[in-house]
Amino acid sequence: MLLLGLASALVASALFNVGLALQALEARATPKSLSLRFSLLVRLLRRPRWLIGWLLGIVGIGPQVLALATAPFVLVQPALAVGLLLLLVIGSRTLGERVGIHEWIGVVSIVAGVALIAVGAPAHTETHRSIPAIAAVVAALSIPGLVPFAVRGTRFDSALLVMVASGTGFAATNVATKLMSDDIGSRYFVGAVIWAAVGLGMGIAATLTGMTAFQRRPATVVVPLTTAVQTFLPILMEPLFLREDWTSAPLAGAPIVAGLLVAGVGTTLLARTRAVSELASGGVGQ
């Protein structure tokens, strides 16, 4: 089951990352006057390439839910960063970029980090904490993701704000997807529908802030920040909304901690490279 969950997470990661590249390619071609406006999403929905990217992201939710149902959350989250390796291969070939030492360190770090977590992962016995605790975590991730819409056009409306908002918004979506997956498994379908609605809403908000970030800052800045936040922030907050039996984890969870650190370094290094960041931001050929 652990291998099934890991494989499903890798499939989801590939779909998410390729979909993001297609979406960002169209977002960079839209007027900046549409930033943080629903009309931006309406215009993008009319672009076939953006629509295909969006559909890939929607399809990716299926294997993500399966991964979360069959593998620990602490393993699924970093595995979602493995899709950056696919962007490296495509980007290096498309842009003619040589894969150098930094890229190889990033690749090895992500693979080694996920492998360490897989080896050290505890049994998949997560349970939810209280409803107030869960709601507090989801709110703590969602509110920063919505702030840019409240301050649009003011002096607080900055590129950094929309980048952080996109990362936390997608982090909230990942947490909501985890909660939805668990409720489906326990046949609590009312809860599953609620978390699906939360995930959909925050996914739309995060998409808008993410597309706006690509309009305002270089890809080498946007991709590393948003990827790191949406991947690793939910892991840091996991103890606040999930109970997990760490007694079954080898060496008291030391391999997991080491794996997260290594994978985090690899994700940041790889996301900063031109071959990955330009492809992820739709900058190819522009």
What pLDDT, in 10s, does the model give residues 148-170?
999 988 989 888 899 999 999 99
More confident residue, 263 or 101: 263
Q: Which tokens belong to 136? A: 């507090």
Instruction: Mention every residue, 6+ apart, whose C-beta is less than 8 A from residue 25.
Output: 49, 50, 53, 282, 283, 284
Residue 70 lies in a domain: yes
Mean predicted confidence (pLDDT) in 73-88: 84
Q: What are 242's strand-pairing partners?
A: 128
Residue 285 lies in a domain: no
* Residue 270 neighbours by CB distance under 10 Å: 28
Residue 286 lies in a domain: no
- Over residues 245-285, the pLDDT tens digits come to 666 677 777 888 898 899 888 888 887 777 777 666 555 44
Lowest mean pLDDT among 38-42, 111-115, 199-203: 38-42
Residue 89 lies in a domain: yes
Note the pLDDT of residue 150. 93
Residue 116 lies in a domain: yes
Give the model's confidence band at 234: pLDDT under 50 very low, under 70 low, under 90 confident, else very high. very high
Residue 193 lies in a domain: yes
Q: What is the pTM (predicted TM-score) of this model? A: 0.82
Instruction: Mention every residue, 6+ apart, whose C-beta is less than 8 A from residue 142.
Output: 168, 169, 172, 198, 202
Note the pLDDT of residue 28. 67
Residue 247 lies in a domain: yes
- Over residues 58-72, the pLDDT tens digits come to 999 999 999 999 988
Q: Give the count of alpha carbons within 13 A of 209, CB side only.
A: 32
Phi-psi region of 137 (alpha: psi -120 to 50; beta: other; left: phi over 0): alpha
The residue range of the domain holding 85 is 2-280
Q: Which tokens belong to 198? A: 């939360």
In the predicted model, what is the mean pLDDT of the chain? 84
H or E segment and range at residue 243: strand 242-243
- Over residues 173-227, the pLDDT tens digits come to 999 999 999 999 899 999 999 999 999 999 999 988 988 887 777 666 777 788 8
Q: What are 220's strand-pairing partners?
A: none
H helix runs in the chain, sequence order: 2-27, 38-45, 48-70, 73-79, 83-95, 101-120, 131-150, 159-185, 189-216, 219-241, 254-272, 274-280
Note the pLDDT of residue 81. 84
Residue 237 lies in a domain: yes
Q: Is the separation of the CB atoms in 278 and 89 below 8 Å?
A: no
If one counts the domains in the chain, the total is 1
> Using CA atoms, how far apart are residues 110 and 266, in angstroms rounded to an integer?
5
Mean predicted confidence (pLDDT) in 96-109: 76
